[in-house]
Amino acid sequence: MASPKAIGSSRQRSVLVHFIATIEPERCEALADRLLVAFHSISRIWAQSPEALARVIGDAPQVAEVILEARKLATESLSGCLRGISIDPFDRRLRSYLIMSMGSLSDERLRILFLDGGRHLLADEVLQSGTLAQLAIYPRTIFRRALELNAAGLILVHNHPSGDHRPSVEDIEATRKLEMIGRSLNVEIIDHIVVTSTHCHHVISNDTLAGTPIPSASFTLRSPGGPARIDHGDIALANAKAAMRRRLLRQQLIGAPELFGDPAWEMLIDLFVHECERKRLSISALCVTSSISMSSALRLAQRLCDAGITRRVPDPIDGRRTFIRLDPVIAHRMRAYFEAGAE
């Protein structure tokens, strides 16, 4: 009996042969074989540039042209489904569009979906390109464009040409840093999606909080001696954010976070800020915040859970992921602490 992989390869060849036969019936089998030998699958053929196709079937330019036009047609059909709707990162239409448009690319690229306050699409742009295994992200480019479009939220998307949809430590750390910058600009990082030819993985999950507005990061100006309205929740959140900024600044200033860090307290502040903003935080994302290595941070996170300071909460969408939150008593004490003033 043939293996499922062999059956799939045979089916792909058959479909590709029939497709090419509508243009080049005399050479359809030979052209299909050349494409599959070079690119291995229809999805990877679909993702190739005109130059790459020309290198393999340069003697059949009409076939390359039809492949490119068919891809544009399919991609436009999927992207058209996203216009005029409130976009949910877990929407199957979005996931299909992302897999189709960039899941099989041979190099890493960063796509940004810029959304308004109602999560409607303002722009869909590929801002940066990288190599086979890495991609440099420039926050200034991302947020400058977000401010130009007056975007309220961003969905970050990048692909893994390796086919492994799991986010790397660098992926998680970059997401956390962009999230911190976004807070100061009142631009929400709604999700960061890693795409392969078959899967989408969500680095951030706000699935049950879709449509929940994040608290404003704006400042209030008052006349001297004028009446002041005190919102203790806002004061606690502002003081906690100020503490996070100072700790990050201290690490950057000294340049030796392993000597000047305070990892347990950093984790608790980060959890407190997320809970004030009604956002979930995964254990892996929490560990990036601390000034120690990932393995040490994971052990420390477990110790905080064992001590009853934090609690693990399973992700109802993805069974492989676990969220973490403060114990309600600890959260209440931290609120009182930050209401009393900043550190």
Report the alpha-carbon distance of residue 259 to residue 329 in Å, rounded: 30
Contacts (Cβ under 8 Å, ≥6 apart) of 134: 108
Please write the tens of the pLDDT for every residue from 115-170. Answer: 998 999 999 998 877 765 566 777 888 888 999 999 999 999 998 888 888 888 88
Which is higher by pLDDT, 276 or 154? Answer: 154
Please write the tens of the pLDDT for every residue from 294-341. Answer: 788 888 889 999 999 999 888 776 667 788 899 988 888 888 888 776
Phi-psi label, residue 318: left if phi above 0, alpha if psi -120 to 50, beta otherwise:
beta
In the 8-state DSSP scheme, what is residue 319?
T
Q: Is the pLDDT of residue 233 over 60?
A: no
Residue 157 near residue 190, CB atoms below 8 Å: no
User: Per the structure block, which two tokens stand in for 301?
Assistant: 């996170």
Handedness of CA 229, 230, 233, 239 (dihedral sign): positive
Predicted pLDDT at 249: 58
Report the alpha-carbon distance of residue 298 to residue 296 in Å, rounded: 5
Predicted pLDDT at 207: 36
Q: 15 - beta bridge partners?
A: none
Q: 11 - beta bridge partners?
A: none
Three-state secondary structure string covering 88-107: CCCCHHHHHHHHHHHCCCCC
Report the alpha-carbon distance of residue 230 to residue 213 in Å, rounded: 21
Report the alpha-carbon distance of residue 229 to residue 249 in Å, rounded: 30
pTM score of the predicted model: 0.53
Q: For residue 96, which amino acid is it?
A: S
User: Per the structure block, which two tokens stand in for 25?
Assistant: 């019936």
Query: What dihedral angle (degrees, nearest 10) is formed by the CA atoms of 49, 55, 59, 60?
Result: -20
What strands, in cross-sheet order, belong to the sheet with 153-159?
121-129, 109-115, 153-159, 188-195, 200-202
- Contacts for 16-25: CB closer than 8 Å, 24+ residues apart: 16/42, 16/45, 20/63, 23/60, 23/62, 23/63, 23/66, 24/60, 24/62, 24/63
Residue 277 near residue 234, CB atoms below 8 Å: no
Share of the chain above pLDDT 70, in %: 79
